[in-house]
Amino acid sequence: MSTTQIEGVLAQMQAVAGAAGGSEGAAPIADAGDESAFAGVLKNSLERINALQNLSGEQKRAFQAGEAGVELHEVMIAGQKASIAFEMGVQVRNRLVNAYKDVMNMQV
């Protein structure tokens, strides 16, 4: 998997996470020359996934406690957003592990 493919996957992940989180747009990707760009993008994506998981958990607890203003459909939507974001994060991790293994198996 090339660097441009990885950056493309991360850009898609940011767009989906931004849409799932309700933000107007995802944070722009830093220049390819920036060594910390990949790490920063990956960290931001994981933080968004964590935020969606936390929001989903909070809404579930609020609904179970019977708090006013918390509707079942909102709880279910938040749960699905968190689930989809988590699954996408797992898929990105799997792709990165496979790319790492491919690089390690290359003969120099």
For the segment 22-79, what is each residue's pLDDT rounded down to a tens digit?
A: 554 445 554 555 567 888 888 999 999 999 999 999 999 999 999 999 999 999 999 9
pLDDT for the residue 63: 95
Burial 55-88 (b: 16+ CB within 10 A, else e): bbeebbeebeeeeeebeeeebeebbebbeebeeb
Give this prediction's pTM: 0.63
